[in-house]
Structure 1
Amino acid sequence: MTAGQRRRCFGLLRSAGDVWACVLEVNGWRRRRRDVPLTGYQALCRELAGSGPGTFGELDSVGARSVLRRFS
């Protein structure tokens, strides 16, 4: 693996962690407001779509949806 590939790999892992942390934080806010947490894949994807492109660094929407699929 080249240095550039290694940097990209760690960047993608970091961005996937950002998606995961975002879902946990949003659900924490929802619980405090006594709302139902977002748990289904489609509900999580709707929330992701509202955040706009480039929100999670190097991770594109397909990659972010992959993280959400594993969460749900």
Structure 2
Amino acid sequence: MYRTARVAVRVTPAQRRRCFGLLRSAGDVWACVLEVNAWRRRRRDAPLAGYQELCRELSASGPGTFAELDSTG
């Protein structure tokens, strides 16, 4: 499923680059969560459901894996 939305935002070129960078990183995190939960289901482990569980798992992936988002949690 794809969802799209158009939003007009007045930002500087630097802010625009940062916004798109954060969106790309968020997409990477979401894809990672889906894949990790698929692995966990195959091993019959409980899926990652809470924010703290997710942060622990993502921090184990190493610094810089998800750009700015990996240090936020």
- Provide the residue aligned with 1:32 in structure 2: 42
Q: TM-score, normalised by structure 2?
A: 0.74
Distance 1:58 1:44, change over 3 A: closer
Equivalent of 1:7, from 17, 27, 38?
17
Q: Deviations over 1:9-67 (max 9, x none)?
A: 101111011111111110011111111111122211111120111001243411xx3xx
Identify the structure with the greater helix proportion: 1
Where do 4+ consecutive residues of structure 1 move more than 2 Å? 57-60
Aligned alpha-carbon RMSD (Å): 1.4
Please, which runs of 5 or more residues in structure 1 have no aligned partner? 66-72
Please, which runs of 5 or more residues in structure 2 have no aligned partner? 1-10
Higher relative contact order (CA 8 A, sep 6+): 1
Distance 1:47 1:57, change over 3 A: same
Identity rate, percent: 81
Distance 1:13 1:54, change over 3 A: same
Distance 1:40 1:5 in 2: 30
- Provide the residue aligned with 2:26 in structure 1: 16
2:33 partner letter: V
Structure number with greater Rg is 2
